[in-house]
Structure 1
């Protein structure tokens, strides 16, 4: 038998060496294999105690073969996904068994890890879970750098190994590792770990949206069909499938895109199938998709309902009718993780003489974020570029989000704040039946913002609780029109002329809608057309500059200390 085995494996020296060692060991312990020897040295099988029987069985374990990985029935390269990449699950382990009160081990207790099973193929690991487990990332790097798998006992690394353990020979490693994680984790590893860019050379950045074309819409249909077949769900009729595609665009916040957040889409289909089964319908219809969407919102919109109730009762002050000087309805988005909703906010501007410029109360109270502060500074740049090329800006203007008691960030209200300032300077009232969103640059161009659908729907719901009159609407950036994926109620109201959406590209377009007065164009002589918004603003700023000059004489106004503008005015450095 041994001769036939050795001849079969002549081309494998290590196997041949092992077979020769097994043969020599058998010859040295021949009495274990002879019935006579066993009968002379051991009592009858019935008289043997369990310990002796176990020792006898253990004597033959040394001749066993421990196949830690068996790919004999595998077609192609192995592809292993490790969900829990602990050091032992990833790199393998050596187990122990108790014998006479002591922990012992041998080669039969060596267990393979994910890297062993993926050797010659691919291993997929979540990077977040990998980094959470001690020794896993270091062990993976060490294996890739050495191109070999050295299985070692974790107790030895920690200095607490209970007994002597076998040290298996390193196994050559050839494997492709696929780490799955977010962009922030990739950037952190790339910057902080010099070995990362050497070991992981190929980056694949997956988008969370795809183009909305015929091919991808069919792909959506294929996904829905596969899900229904796999989970035994009712299939969707054509209108229901079209509603799923619309929901995909809503998740992507773009009319030309479809979201690849398939778990959310799958959850919607499962819930719609539940409502269809309750009605005894074999098919999932559009009404079931709509109900699933409505129920999803209902389960999460308690805070939204409370805010709308406070607006209705006058606790939160929001006007949806009439006109006010220096007051505009801004729009913000509140995110709750699984649900986002829009909320209107009253933004006001107050004016006074001074050199402080635009004073952001949110920043002064340490409630404003950095991006919001940048937006306010951009407003200052717009005013200086528009009105202060030949004269200084002699004003102190305070901006505030009324009844805001939390942090404020983002620049999506910068155009709204600018409208409030222009209204206060021109002394022109702004229509309160309109709300505004959009950021602005120093040239007066209105720029796209996020959450446009939630903001429009939020103001529409506010108008409904306050009593919808039919002249309400929202001013949005023109570049955001491609992102409009509004719910049916808003679309129906717009279609019937009961609610309005005004896309604008510049501040001039927006101020004309809000005030009903022409913005005005700059003439060759450096003045604006009489009666226009810019004419009135420019005139008011010139008057404020003259008032300052009368107060402080021809000299420049001295630098003010932050709290004592009134004191500086009360004790001028010179008299007129």
Structure 2
């Protein structure tokens, strides 16, 4: 039982170009499905996009490296083409409440028409209304009304004058008013001296007559005022009639044109009423420019209230709109109320209302990255409100948080009829689902993208068609059969398995583009395997500076890694460093010291608070293994300290638990371990070796150290048997394996690993619980028994002393 040593063909998948059946991508058709695999996500998106219920919005769960944006937009745009074009939306002046602009919904393209028609209406009225007031018909009617007024007023004055004259007075009419003056017998007015010279009886009589005539005069003045009021009303009615004759013709045309569109007819009626009410604004012609040198324009009437703000214009939209919002700030999503400075103050009106992405996507689809959206709390909360209420409120963000106290507009909200599609990591989806109740109420469709797909004949052909599609779409050099074979291998490397193809198509596309660059630089007509290989190596070289620094430290013995010779209680474990854009493996020396004690296995990393929970669990499993195998007839009187040497950061994961157990068994048995063999794999309490992640990076990291220090032909790595199918090692390692300079062992049990590391059999437990002499487990059992006897001796001595 010494494990299985793997052959070169087992440590890497090798694709024979001849088996592909083509010589280049020029012979391969495009991928008609547009999306490679991802049937689960495509099915979910198809349901979510076609299900009309606006409570079923979509979350596309997947990383950017899977082409989340491309997949989402491709499928959404395909669906949008089949949908009807949504309505235009316009904001217009609210004549009843100027601070609350009205929203009008019109068929697509009609918003522009209404804007133009209203602008033409105003221009026509500015021309026609003054003409109407200057027409002969109007002037004649106006003159007739004024003439009739003058006749009636003259008659009143004549009657009054006769009455005044009969009483011996003269009627004096001036611009300041009317007054009566006593007259002499010859009809001339009396002077104050003449009045004073009269006898008292005549003075008294004159006074009484004067008072009576003054009453009559006042009554006449009231009659004149009434006549003037009637004149003004008649002239006003005439003006209204003239304006209505002009306006009515144009408005009626618009009513007929926009008949059947709710809201427009009532708006046109209000426009007509307001024009009549403000007819003086149209009556005056534009004033000539003032003379130089300091022209100060005269104030002109404003016709802004008759304008139309085409808020959402779908006149050129084909099908339903698809809007991707890369920067979902509050104003970008919900629009803005803009302001302009005028005479030192900020003013606004309905023409300065600007739409957001929600308005533009209305009736279609809005795509937003979840992480971008969550950066802006107001955006996220208001988006949920819009979805729940199905209304888009256009509000000032500053007003919401209390920064503005000045008066602002409150536009009528627009109904929200779009499907929202969030894109993001699955982790974000689960966090929102657990901690945000509203999220789970509205984002009910999860489209989960897969990371890989089985590498069978069907999927391989689809993969090749996807590659051909990329090449033709981006106008790249064709890939020959060797490049296609290498690309399949690279896809398996990304997937981390020989039997899987990676669906990280954006990464694959980038590699093809880089290979195209190197091929063009060489003047090649096709991309070959060596061009792809160079592209892959160049990508690695640009990112692997941290790895080179660590390898240099190992080479200079600043990091102590021994790759030859034997040592008790010491072993090379393997770990992976993930830098985001690049990950690499490196060996770490693990040591174990043992002594008599009661603490069991002590994790130094945990004591130093540098151990993660999973790593701590792995160390505790070691004690469980020892109890299961060796302490059935004796107590465990052991203190074993376990340490990751020269490790100064947090350690987590249980992939080193197998190596830790082997070092512990070596320390207990006293049998040295060959240091040229590194180990990765987690352990169970029953002694099973379990699979781990990052297997290729770990092997490559140890191989580089061995290569730098010198390959001896005995070095290698022990891995779990379950990880064999994940091996996609680099060509240089495959070559070393083929030449017998480096080895990969696959094991499934602890016994296999300890035999490889020590060269001694592990030993199988007999029915009486003992192990054969000379085996590793026999030596461990004896050591634990020895420690137990020592503990008993100390216990007896302490008891006797007492």
1:465 equivalent among 690, 708, 713: 708
3-state SS of the aligned residue for 2:310? coil
Q: Which residue of 1 aligns with 2:800?
A: 574
Aligned pairs for 1:68-467 (under 5 A) are 68-161=311-404, 163-467=406-710
Distance change >3 Å, CA 575–CA 425, structure 1 → 2:
farther
Q: Which residue of 1 aligns with 2:270?
A: 21
Q: Which residue of 2 aligns with 1:563?
A: none
3-state SS of the aligned residue for 2:798? coil
Q: Distance in 1 between matches of 2:541 and 2:641?
A: 39
Q: Which residue of 1 aligns with 2:766?
A: 523
Deviation at 1:86, TM superposition (A): 1.1
Q: Give deviations 1:432-487, integer Å, cap 9, x for gaps.
A: 22111101010100011111101111111111111112221110001111111111
Q: Distance in 2 between matches of 1:370 and 1:158?
A: 43
Q: Distance in 2 between matches of 1:353 and 1:27?
A: 106
Q: Give deviations 1:334-371, integer Å, cap 9, x for gaps.
A: 22222222111222222211222111122222222222
Q: Distance in 2 between matches of 1:155 and 1:360?
A: 55
Q: Which residue of 1 aligns with 2:792?
A: 549
Distance change >3 Å, CA 197–CA 46, structure 1 → 2:
farther
Deviation at 1:299, TM superposition (A): 2.2
Q: Distance in 1 between matches of 2:732 and 2:669?
A: 37
Q: CA RMSD in A?
A: 2.4
Q: Distance in 2 between matches of 1:462 and 1:269?
A: 31
Q: Distance in 2 between matches of 1:402 and 1:502?
A: 25
- Single out whichever of 189-198 and 444-453 deviates more from structure 2: 189-198
3-state SS of the aligned residue for 2:446? coil
Q: Distance in 2 between matches of 1:360 and 1:366?
A: 10
TM-score (norm 1): 0.90
Q: Distance in 2 between matches of 1:395 and 1:320?
A: 29
Q: Distance in 2 between matches of 1:237 and 1:45?
A: 79
3-state SS of the aligned residue for 2:308? coil
Q: Distance in 1 between matches of 2:399 and 2:567?
A: 76
Distance change >3 Å, CA 256–CA 27, structure 1 → 2:
same
| Aligned residues between the structures | 553
3-state SS of the aligned residue for 1:510? helix
Q: Distance in 2 between matches of 1:13 and 1:312?
A: 81
Q: Distance in 2 between matches of 1:130 and 1:574?
A: 74
Q: Give deviations 1:99-136, integer Å, cap 9, x for gaps.
A: 33322222211111111111112111112221212421
Q: Distance in 1 between matches of 2:378 and 2:640?
A: 58
Structure with larger Rg = 2
Q: Give deviations 1:146-191, integer Å, cap 9, x for gaps.
A: 1112212233223344754332212122221111222332233223
3-state SS of the aligned residue for 1:264? helix
Q: Distance in 1 between matches of 2:452 and 2:622?
A: 34
Q: Which residue of 2 aligns with 1:556?
A: none
Q: Which residue of 2 aligns with 1:567?
A: none
Q: Distance in 2 between matches of 1:317 and 1:43?
A: 94
TM-score (norm 2): 0.66
Q: Can you give the 5+ residue segments of structure 2 that lack an aligned partner in the other structure?
A: 1-249
Q: Distance in 2 between matches of 1:280 and 1:320?
A: 44
Distance change >3 Å, CA 155–CA 518, structure 1 → 2:
closer
Q: Which residue of 2 aligns with 1:43?
A: 288
**Stretches of 4+ aligned residues off by more than 6 angstroms:** 45-51
